[in-house]
Structure 1
Amino acid sequence: MSIFFATISLITLLQLVFLGSVIFLENRDPTRTITWLLILGALPVLGALLYLLFGRVVRKRRLSRHKQVRLEQTEEIMVDRQIRPSAEDVDQVGDSPMNKKLSRLLLNDANAPLTLNNRSEVLTNGKKTFRALFSAIENAKDHIHLEYYIFHNDAIGGDILNLLVRKASEGVTVRVLVDGLGNRSLEKRFGELRRAGVETAGFYPVRFPFLSKRLNLRNHRKIVVVDGRVGFLGGLNVGDEYLSRNKKIGFWRDTFLKLEGDSVNFLQTVFLNDWNVVTEEDIKGPLYYPQSLQLGCQLTQIAATGPDSDWGSMLQIFFVALTSAEKTIYIETPYFIPDEGSVMALKTAALSGLDVRIILQGVPDHKLTYWASHSYIEELLESGVRIYRYTKGVLHAKVMILDSEIGVVGSTNFDIRSFSLNFEISAFIYESAFAHRLEQDFYQDLSDSQEIELEEYKLRPLSIRIKESSARLFSPLL
Structure 2
Amino acid sequence: MSWPATIFLGILIVNIFFGIIIIFREQKSAQATWAWLMVLFFVPVIGLIIYFVFGRELRNSSWNEDSLFKTNALLLHQREEIQEETLYRNSPSMDGLESLIYMHIHHSHAPLTYAQSVDLLTDGDQKFESLFNDIREATDYVHVQYFSINTDELGSAFVQLLTEKAKEGVQVMLLYDGLGSWKMSNRFLKDYLNAGGKSRVFFPPRSMFTYGSLNHRNHRKLAIIDGSVAYIGGFNIGDKYNTDDRGLGFWRDSHLRLTGSAVHHLHDQFISDWNKGQKEPAPEFANYEVPVSSSLKGGVPMQIVASGPGFETDQVKNGFIQMIQQAKRYIYIQTPYFIPDFGLLDNLRVAIMSGIDVRIMIPNKPDHPFIYWATYFYIGELLRLGATIYIYDKGFLHAKTMVVDDRISTLGTTNMDVRSVSLNFEVNTFMYDEEMAEKMRETFQNDLVDCHELTLEEYEQRSKWIRVKENIARLISPLL
* TM-score of Structure 1 vs Structure 2, range by shorter chain: over 0.9
> What is aligned with 1:180?
178
Q: Deviations over 1:243-279 (max 9, x none)?
A: 0243232200000000011111110111011111155
**Whole-angstrom CA distance in 1 between matches of 2:351 and 2:471:** 25
> What is aligned with 1:257?
256
Deviation for aligned residue 1:79: 8.5
- Secondary structure, aligned partner of 1:375: helix
Q: Deviations over 1:416-470 (max 9, x none)?
A: 0111111111111111111111112100112211111112211211111001111
Deviation for aligned residue 1:38: 1.2
Q: 1:189 to 1:83 in 2, by over 3 A?
A: farther
> Any gaps of 5 or more consecutive residues in structure 2?
none
Q: 1:369 to 1:93 in 2, by over 3 A?
A: farther
> What is aligned with 1:448?
450
Q: 1:312 to 1:209 in 2, by over 3 A?
A: closer
Q: Are 2:331 and 1:329 aligned?
A: yes
**Whole-angstrom CA distance in 2 between matches of 1:148 and 1:389:** 28
Q: Are 2:250 and 1:248 aligned?
A: no
> What is aligned with 1:357?
359
Q: 1:100 to 1:290 in 2, by over 3 A?
A: closer
> What is aligned with 1:283?
284
RMSD: 2.5
> What is aligned with 1:302?
304
> What is aligned with 1:140?
138
* Match among 106, 109, 116 for residue 108 of structure 1: 106
Q: 1:421 to 1:346 in 2, by over 3 A?
A: same
- Secondary structure, aligned partner of 2:106: helix
**Whole-angstrom CA distance in 1 between matches of 2:80 and 2:373:** 41
> What is aligned with 1:9?
8
- Secondary structure, aligned partner of 2:180: coil
Deviation for aligned residue 1:311: 2.1
Q: 1:324 to 1:219 in 2, by over 3 A?
A: same
**Whole-angstrom CA distance in 1 between matches of 2:92 and 2:264:** 23
Q: 1:287 to 1:227 in 2, by over 3 A?
A: farther
- Contact 1:276 1:282 (C-alpha < 8 Å) held by counterparts: no
- Contact 1:206 1:212 (C-alpha < 8 Å) held by counterparts: no
- Secondary structure, aligned partner of 2:117: strand
> Any gaps of 5 or more consecutive residues in structure 1?
none
**Whole-angstrom CA distance in 2 between matches of 1:448 and 1:85:** 48
- Contact 1:401 1:407 (C-alpha < 8 Å) held by counterparts: yes
- Secondary structure, aligned partner of 1:378: helix
> What is aligned with 1:46?
46
Deviation for aligned residue 1:62: 5.3
- Contact 1:339 1:416 (C-alpha < 8 Å) held by counterparts: yes
**Whole-angstrom CA distance in 2 between matches of 1:211 and 1:286:** 30
After superposing on structure 2, the runs of 4+ consecutive aligned residues of structure 1 that deviate more than 6 Å are 82-85, 290-295
Q: Are 2:31 and 1:36 aligned?
A: no
Q: TM-score, normalised by structure 2?
A: 0.92
- Contact 2:144 2:224 (C-alpha < 8 Å) held by counterparts: yes
- Contact 2:374 2:474 (C-alpha < 8 Å) held by counterparts: yes
- Contact 1:144 1:174 (C-alpha < 8 Å) held by counterparts: yes
* Match among 365, 376, 379 for residue 377 of structure 1: 379
Deviation for aligned residue 1:130: 0.4
- Contact 2:88 2:94 (C-alpha < 8 Å) held by counterparts: no
Q: Are 2:234 and 1:235 aligned?
A: yes
**Whole-angstrom CA distance in 2 between matches of 1:52 and 1:92:** 53
Deviation for aligned residue 1:289: 5.7
**2:248 is aligned with what amino acid?**
I
Structure 1 stretch 251-260 or stretch 441-450: which is displaced more? 441-450
> What is aligned with 1:131?
129
**Whole-angstrom CA distance in 2 between matches of 1:259 and 1:37:** 45
Paired residue total = 472
Q: 1:454 to 1:209 in 2, by over 3 A?
A: same
- Secondary structure, aligned partner of 2:313: coil
- Secondary structure, aligned partner of 1:89: coil
**2:262 is aligned with what amino acid?**
S
**Whole-angstrom CA distance in 2 between matches of 1:79 and 1:377:** 38
**1:167 is aligned with what amino acid?**
K
- Secondary structure, aligned partner of 1:140: coil
**Whole-angstrom CA distance in 2 between matches of 1:372 and 1:379:** 11
Q: Deviations over 1:167-203 (max 9, x none)?
A: 1000000000001122121124234321121100001
Q: Are 2:268 and 1:266 aligned?
A: no
Q: TM-score, normalised by structure 1?
A: 0.92
- Secondary structure, aligned partner of 1:166: helix
> What is aligned with 2:348?
346
**1:353 is aligned with what amino acid?**
G
**Whole-angstrom CA distance in 2 between matches of 1:209 and 1:79:** 34
- Contact 1:60 1:310 (C-alpha < 8 Å) held by counterparts: no
- Contact 1:234 1:257 (C-alpha < 8 Å) held by counterparts: yes
Q: Are 2:465 and 1:463 aligned?
A: yes
